[in-house]
Amino acid sequence: MWYDKLFLVKVYKQNKIVFAIFCTFICIISYFNYKGIETTPFFIWAMYAGKMTPKKEYKIVTVTYNENKVFNLPHTFQEPKSMMIYFTINHYRKIENNNMTDPLQNILTGTLLPHYPFLVAVEERLVSKPEDNARYLQWLKKYLQSIVSIPINNVTVYERMMHYNINSQLVEDSSKILYTIK
């Protein structure tokens, strides 16, 4: 029969005690879920979504290239490339605000290395070096060029202050240029 291929039917035929444990677990989880009691990480809804209070202003980093063409990748499958751009920009800003020293260096030397000495072997791979930081902006331009597949003359990175108006439209309050790469 078709139901012989079901997991619980196979478990029942192999071991009735394990089958009873599975059924008991399923019943308990179903009851807790029905009652709204959060029991497992999968059912802890607040872990995945929680109430967010609206802010009055938002800081948004944007990238433009070749005379103000906005960098925008519209497809979900392109998200890793977009994340590589924006996450590295944010990390570079943290490095810049930390006197061109990777903030992870402080965490490694102050907290992790005393407790996990085996990390000494990989420390240089985890932390960006000053010479890497100096080459970052040119790397960003080349990486952006590889994504958009056209020659890029210049790149400008902006920090924009935005807010939502009464009609729920995004309005730009101000912008400042963080980096210009030629």
Residue 53 counted as domain residue = no
Regarding whether 143 and 110 lie in a shared domain, the answer is: yes
- My answer on whether 115 and 30 are in the same domain is no
Shared-domain flag, residues 169 and 121: yes
List the chain pLDDT tens, one digit each, 182 residues. Answer: 788 889 999 999 999 999 999 999 999 988 887 887 777 666 666 666 667 787 889 999 999 999 888 898 888 888 899 999 999 999 999 999 988 888 888 888 888 878 888 888 887 788 888 888 889 999 999 999 999 989 999 999 999 999 998 898 989 999 999 999 99
Q: Any idea how long the chain is? A: 182
Residue type, 58: Y
* 168: alpha, beta or left? (left if phi > 0; alpha if psi -120 to 50): left
In a domain, 52, yes or no: no
Whether residues 75 and 144 share a domain: the answer is: yes
Q: Any residues with CB less than 8 A from the CB of 54 and at least 6 apart, and which?
A: 164
CB-based contact 56:165 (threshold 8 Å)? no
- Distance CA(137)–CA(94), nearest Å, equals 14
Residue 175 domain-assigned (yes or no): yes
Tell me: do 42 and 68 sit in the same domain.
no
pTM above 0.85, yes or no: no
How many domains, the chain?
A: 2
Residue-range definition of the domain harbouring residue 119: 58-181
